[in-house]
Amino acid sequence: MSFFEAGAQVTFTALSQIGMSIIYVLLGISVIVALGFFVAFIISVRKGQYDDTYTPSVRMLFEDEVVKDTSVDQPIETNDKH
């Protein structure tokens, strides 16, 4: 084994150990972020943010007051001549 091969082997081993510790750090950070999102979700559910999902989407389709149409019984005029 030459000097360069031995140096490469030592460097690879050192990087491998550093790489594994980085994975553990990233795993810990991802668990903390996931717990943060979970806590935010629980708080929003308890405050009632997800209680009614249907009414807001159709609220604009309904009128404020119901107006009765009195012209229903009148005949419709057409311009058709047979």
CA distances from 20 to 52, 64, 81 (A): 46, 63, 89
Q: Give the confidence band of 27 by pLDDT, cuts at 50, 70, 90.
A: very high
pLDDT at 31: 98
Q: Where are the alpha helices (DSSP H) in 1-82?
A: 3-46, 55-58
For residues 16 and 8, the model is more confident at 16
Kindly report the number of other CB atoms within 10 A of residue 5's CB atom: 9
pLDDT at 45: 93
Q: What's the whole-model pTM score?
A: 0.47
| Unique residue bearing structure tokens 């419709």 | 76
